[in-house]
């Protein structure tokens, strides 16, 4: 994929997420890794539904700004993920309704915020750890995500939203959408007796 094609893919997927209500206003950010090991990221204060290819920020993996508009302050944690997981080629971070609501709940299991009751999160992403609350842009978000990056593909940011990664932008986006739909089911089923998967069933899926 050429850089121009990657730019177009990023703004097309960002627009689709915005149009379908996964992102609102200027919240959220996305990025992808190019073949030359630079990254394209959505710029600070930008609406995911109204981006142009040349708006995108281009940076090195060390965070050096190359071109485009000023990157989001949260690009630091994107870099932490890229630099600590060689399979990470794209990052999606949104403040979608149900995942943000889930991130605000007390007493979440910080090793895995979503107790498995469907096979899909287990198969696509495995456990979903919770990063403690820090102010948006705080370097500790990047530090904590970096420490977990190698063994996880999805993360809940306490009182903030969620992050997913993938081996390409489509995979990272599909992971986010699956995670959001699972969070929606959690709230739909909250007063019901849920048939959680057994440990044997979970282990079978992980194989």
Look up residue 80 and give its two tokens: 């932490």
Q: CA 71 to CA 1: how far, in whole Å?
A: 22
82 annotated active-site: no
Catalytic residue among 3, 120, 133, 177: 120
178 annotated active-site: no
Look up residue 177 and give its two tokens: 């959408």
Cβ atoms of 202 and 122 within 8 Å: the answer is yes
Cβ atoms of 121 and 178 within 8 Å: the answer is yes
Cβ atoms of 37 and 82 within 8 Å: the answer is no
Cβ atoms of 75 and 57 within 8 Å: the answer is yes
Angstrom CA distances, 80 to 2, 3, 46, 170, 190, stand at: 24, 22, 22, 20, 34
Catalytic residue among 3, 22, 64, 74: 74
Look up residue 142 and give its two tokens: 């990047």
**Could you tell me which of 34, 104, 46 has the C-alpha nearest to residue 74?**
46
Catalytic residues, by residue number, are: 74, 120
């Amino acid at each position: 994929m050429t850089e121009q094609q990657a730019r177009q893919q990023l703004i097309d997927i960002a627009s689709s997420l915005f149009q379908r209500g996964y992102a609102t206003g200027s919240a959220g950010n996305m990025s992808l890794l190019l073949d030359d090991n630079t990254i394209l990221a959505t710029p600070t204060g930008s609406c995911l539904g109204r981006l142009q290819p040349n708006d995108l920020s281009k940076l090195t993996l060390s965070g050096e700004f190359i071109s485009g508009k000023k990157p989001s302050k949260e690009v630091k944690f994107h870099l932490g993920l890229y630099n600590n997981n060689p399979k990470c080629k794209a990052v999606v971070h949104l403040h979608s309704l149900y995942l943000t609501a889930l991130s605000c709940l007390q007493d979440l299991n910080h090793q895995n915020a979503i107790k498995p009751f469907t096979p899909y999160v287990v198969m696509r992403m495995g456990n979903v750890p919770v990063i403690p609350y820090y102010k948006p842009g705080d370097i500790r978000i990047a530090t904590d995500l970096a420490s977990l990056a190698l063994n996880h593909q999805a993360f809940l940011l306490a009182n903030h939203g969620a992050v997913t990664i993938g081996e390409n932008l489509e995979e990272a986006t599909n992971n986010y959408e699956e995670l959001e739909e699972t969070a929606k089911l959690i709230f739909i089923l909250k007063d019901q007796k849920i048939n959680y998967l057994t440990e044997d069933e979970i282990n079978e899926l992980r194989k």
